[in-house]
A and B are shown apart, each in its own frame.
Chain A
Amino acid sequence: MLKINGLSKTFGLGSINEKLAVNNVNLTLQAGEFVTVIGGNGAGKSTLLNCIAGVHEPDQGSIFLDSMDITFWPEYKRSQYIGRVFQDPLKGTAFDMTIEQNLAMAYAKGKPLGLQWGVRKADAAMFRDRLARLELGLEDRLKQKVGLLSGGQRQAITLLMATIVEPKLLLLDEHTAALDPSAAKHVLRLTRELVEQYQLCTLMVTHNMKNALEYGTRTIMMHDGSIILDIAGEERREMTVEKLIDLFGRRSGQELDNDRLLLS
């Protein structure tokens, strides 16, 4: 369970480029809740995610994961409980290392870091099994370098790495935005399967309004650093992209000016 209280983050404080990226955000995610986050460029979606992940230290507010106050934990320490997939497929894996070595590092999460053998035989068998479920034929390529794989394959592996040790929270930052449509669809399907299988508490940023409504159990919309819409249940089931655009206009007092958001 994730609980965010009064979170604010300003970049370039005191400079002419001062930008209030996240403005007094309150958000609570129940266990197993799959929340999709939408909003235009500069709405603060990624900053919110990065504050939760520990990339940015918030100026105000607190972040609780279960009963732990992680507000000021360093990024690496939170990562023991948080799984992440980035927009850039290059960011989630070590390119010059093999698939099984990448998975082994992810699988060692939370375990002591020592001189144990890196990729144990029993683990490799388990990796093969988990890779087979990605349906990308990667199970026979355990010893190949990740650098040889396509963006979609790398995102699928990153997704597996993020969940191979069951996280308390899964953060997906537009993780299909850099992929071609069919790869994006596949990775989204894998995301849904994994989240449902482990009942993961998930926060997924997306630019695609259709995906935002189609996937997950709850949708929030951000604008100028604030949450301006938060729908779930019945209300969300009846929501359409057109209604969402209309709602955005009324709540933000602006026309939706983001082509990427509209067209997708």
Chain B
Amino acid sequence: MSLLAMQGSVELGIIYAIMALGVFISFRTLNMPDLTVDSSFTLGAAVSAMLCTMGHPLLAIPAAMLAGWLAGNVTALLNTKLKIQPLLAGILVMLGLYSINLRVMFNRANIPLLNQPTVFSSLQGTSLESHAQWLIPLVLLIAVILILYLFLQTRFGLVLRATGDNDQMVRSVGVNTDTTILLGLGLANCLVAFSGALIAQYQSFADVSMGVGMVVIGLASVIIGEVLFGINSLLRRLIAVVLGAILYRFVIAVALHLGMPPTDLKLISAVIVTMALAAPVIKAGLISRRKRHSRRSVHKEG
């Protein structure tokens, strides 16, 4: 694999890591598999691309984040106020947002950003120009990790983490879990849209179906990170998610390099996540089988 392709997959991994951190918030701290991600990623990209074509690449980022935040809020309200299961609430918002995303993109399926100024061109004319593609996402990612690390240790952050652990306990210390879910899913989808906004500008286009399967990629990153890099401390968990995201991109790049058709990507993603989710069961099964096997051999000897 060429150095350029490797660098490209690391760059992509860094940007996707922000999305994976959003999935970490909903999946791990709130204990909700939030499918809104698929469409809030696209929403972020769409808002970002539209504002780029209007000449506001910097404004595009916070605008996309706000849009993602609101999308997460809608899912949260469907869940908390209308008592729709989290999975179904996410699916409903995902479906609805598809139409909204098309509207944001003026009913075009994709928006090319060729020759448009983006955040990546903001370093043009400085000595860092040639490094913008990885430097800007890296700086943003580090900022996101630091903010999350601090935030998750604040009074509100603790309660947010406890909501996924034990919502009964959170209510019994006087906190409304509807509020923590509202803000938690807002934050999660804000990060997802942030990532989508950066990807659109990085790739110089937005496509209405670019978010399909994104939640699975996010889950894959979270789980791969946990399995390979541990869950001992909060900071370690956050960094594990990032490394998981980069590693995932890397695996995909290698697979493509070895001749896998790009259309098989989603199948591979699904298989990777299935294996990661099933790992504990398979491991337990193997151990139990080994035990039975060794007992049988003891019987034979005796």
Contact = CB atoms under 8 A, between A and B. Distances in A.
Interface of A: 53, 74-77, 79-80, 84, 86, 90-97, 101-102, 104-106, 108-111, 113-119, 161-162
14 contacts: A80-B174, A93-B169, A96-B161, A102-B162, A105-B155, A105-B162, A108-B159, A109-B173, A111-B155, A114-B155, A116-B154, A118-B155, A118-B158, A162-B172
B166 A90 contact: yes
Given A94-B162, A101-B158, A115 B151 contact: yes
Q: Which 8 A-B pairs have the closest CB atoms?
A: A94-B165, A94-B162, A80-B174, A79-B174, A118-B158, A76-B171, A115-B154, A76-B176
A115 B173 contact: no
Interface of B: 151, 153-159, 161-162, 165-166, 168-177
Nearest to A108: B155
Contact of A79 (B159, B161, B165, B171): B171
Residue of A79, A86, A94 with most partner-chain B CB within 10 A: A94
A143 to B, nearest CB: 10
Contact of B173 (A53, A86, A108, A119): A108
Nearest to B158: A118
Given A90-B166, A116-B155, A161 B171 contact: no
A76 B170 CA distance: 8
A29 to B, nearest CB: 20
A97 B175 contact: no
Contacts of B172: 53, 75, 79, 84, 92, 162
Given A79-B171, A95-B166, A96-B165, A74 B176 contact: yes
Contacts of A111: 155
Contact of A114 (B153, B154, B176): B154
Given A92-B172, A118-B153, 13 more contacts: A76-B176, A76-B177, A79-B172, A90-B166, A94-B161, A94-B165, A94-B170, A95-B166, A97-B161, A101-B158, A104-B155, A105-B175, A108-B173
Given A114-B154, A115-B151, A97 B162 contact: yes
Given A108-B155, A113-B155, A116-B155, A95 B165 contact: yes
Contacts of B154: 114-118
Contacts of B169: 91-94, 102, 105
A174 to B, nearest CB: 16
Contacts of B177: 76
Contacts of A80: 174
B119 to A, nearest CB: 27
A114 B162 contact: no
Nearest to A92: B169
A105 B155 CA distance: 7
Contacts of A94: 161-162, 165-166, 169-170
A114 B157 CA distance: 9
A111 B156 CA distance: 11
A75 B170 CA distance: 10
B173 A113 contact: no
A97 B169 CA distance: 12
A113 B175 CA distance: 8
A181 B174 CA distance: 31
Contacts of B176: 74, 76-77
A106 B173 contact: yes
B171 A97 contact: no
A92 B173 CA distance: 9
B266 to A, nearest CB: 31
Contact of B156 (A76, A91, A115, A161): A115
B37 to A, nearest CB: 22
Contacts of B165: 94-97
A204 B48 CA distance: 58
B162 A109 contact: no
A97 to B, nearest CB: 6
Nearest to A111: B155
B48 to A, nearest CB: 27
A161 B170 CA distance: 12
A117 B166 contact: no
